[in-house]
Amino acid sequence: VQLQASGGGLVQAGGSLRLSCAASGRAFSSYGMGWFRQAPGKDREFVAFISWSGGNGYYEESVKGRFAISRDNAKNTVYLQMNSLKPEDTAVYYCARRIGWRSSPGDYRDLNGYDSWGQGTLVTVSS
């Protein structure tokens, strides 16, 4: 599977962006999807996860109530709506496909649990 992330850009603090991640290939609807981010000089970290069956997402504590993950299986796309953005949200954002066909969420925060990654899209939040 190939993943193509888009939607990043420059936004002022308090603003919003919606990231998209389009997946090629079949069976998109049978895999959980995650968003991660990597700020300059820092390790890549978990942001949000949505299971293959959809429903409520799982979030990193600092983005709860501000970010929302969703998916449109008809379009093979997962989204990350980001509201009330803060300068500390500045990072390259990556989408990734969880290992395992129709698997349970498991340790969705673990990067090693994902087998396909998009190229990343840069989000810059100015103060």
pLDDT of residue 5: 97
Instruction: For residue range 44-73, list pLDDT tens digits in order.
Output: 999 999 999 988 899 999 999 999 999 999
Give yes or no for residue 115 having a pLDDT over 90.
yes
Whether residue 98 is predicted with pLDDT greater than 90 in this model: the reply is yes
Q: What is the pLDDT of residues 72-97, one digit of tens each?
A: 999 999 999 999 999 999 999 999 99
Query: How confident is the prediction for the chain on average, in pLDDT?
Result: 95
Handedness of CA 23, 58, 105, 55 (dihedral sign): negative
What's the pLDDT score for residue 21?
98
